Amino acid sequence: MSRIGKKPIAIPAGVTLSLDGQTVSVKGPKGELSWTVVEEIVMKHEAGELTLAPRDESTRARSMWGLSRTLVFNMVFGVTQGYEQNLELVGVGYRAAMKGASLGMQLGFSHEVDIPPPPGISFTVGKPTEIKISGIDKQLVGETAARIRKIRPPEPYKGKGVRYGGEKVRRKEGKKK
């Protein structure tokens, strides 16, 4: 039995959840998301709660149960509160600035790196070395942050690069004579 799958998903006020076959659509104050649940999962929407259960006791149904519940819960959380990921730029001359809606970064290359935001994602630059990525889709926020970090990942000798907020970089000792 899935401990996560057994928990019902509470639908807060201001959020409308609709089921159309296996498709779940969630609409809230921040936006709208939809996702198609696999056929092995049965959904019931009653009394402000959504419960998910496996259709049978197959291995695939049991493994998809907790995953489906978590993905639907993330959709409900995203349309009510949203998700955000912070990135830090560490290095001399490394900085970021907004260019309209896109993000322009100087990361030690001979050119400036411009990143247009995917649909549903917004960038915010508080300080020149801090970037905030926000949106309603948890996967898209994390994926966008990972793509930006991949441009210049932190290196182990000086620690320069793009880091997640609060990320600890293991440092290596340099060459010795």
The pLDDT score that the predictor gives to residue 5 is: 86
Adjacency order of strands within the sheet including 130-135: 121-125, 130-135, 83-90, 161-164
**CA 99 to chain CA centroid, nearest Å:** 23
Is it true that domain 83-164 has CATH number 3.90.930.12?
A: yes
pLDDT digits (tens, 9 = 90+) for 126-177: 999 999 999 999 999 999 999 999 999 999 999 999 999 988 999 999 888 8
The pLDDT score that the predictor gives to residue 174 is: 86
| Token pair recorded at residue 107 | 């990361």
Q: What pTM did the predictor assign?
A: 0.88
The pLDDT score that the predictor gives to residue 1 is: 66
Mean pLDDT of the chain: 92
**How would residue 75 be classed by pLDDT, with cut points 50, 70 and 90?**
very high
Is the pLDDT at 123 greater than 90? The verdict is yes
Taking CA atoms, 114 is separated from 22, 66, 118, 132, 137, in Å, by 39, 38, 13, 15, 22
pLDDT digits (tens, 9 = 90+) for 89-118: 999 999 999 999 899 999 999 999 999 999
CATH superfamily of the domain spanning 3-80: Ribosomal protein L6 (3.90.930.12)
**How would residue 2 be classed by pLDDT, with cut points 50, 70 and 90?**
confident
Taking CA atoms, 60 is separated from 39, 41, 54, 124, in Å, by 10, 10, 9, 41
pLDDT digits (tens, 9 = 90+) for 23-67: 999 999 999 999 999 999 999 998 889 999 999 989 999 999 999
Instruction: Kindly list the domain boundaries of the chain, sorted by start residue.
Output: 3-80, 83-164
33 pairs with which residues across the strands? 26
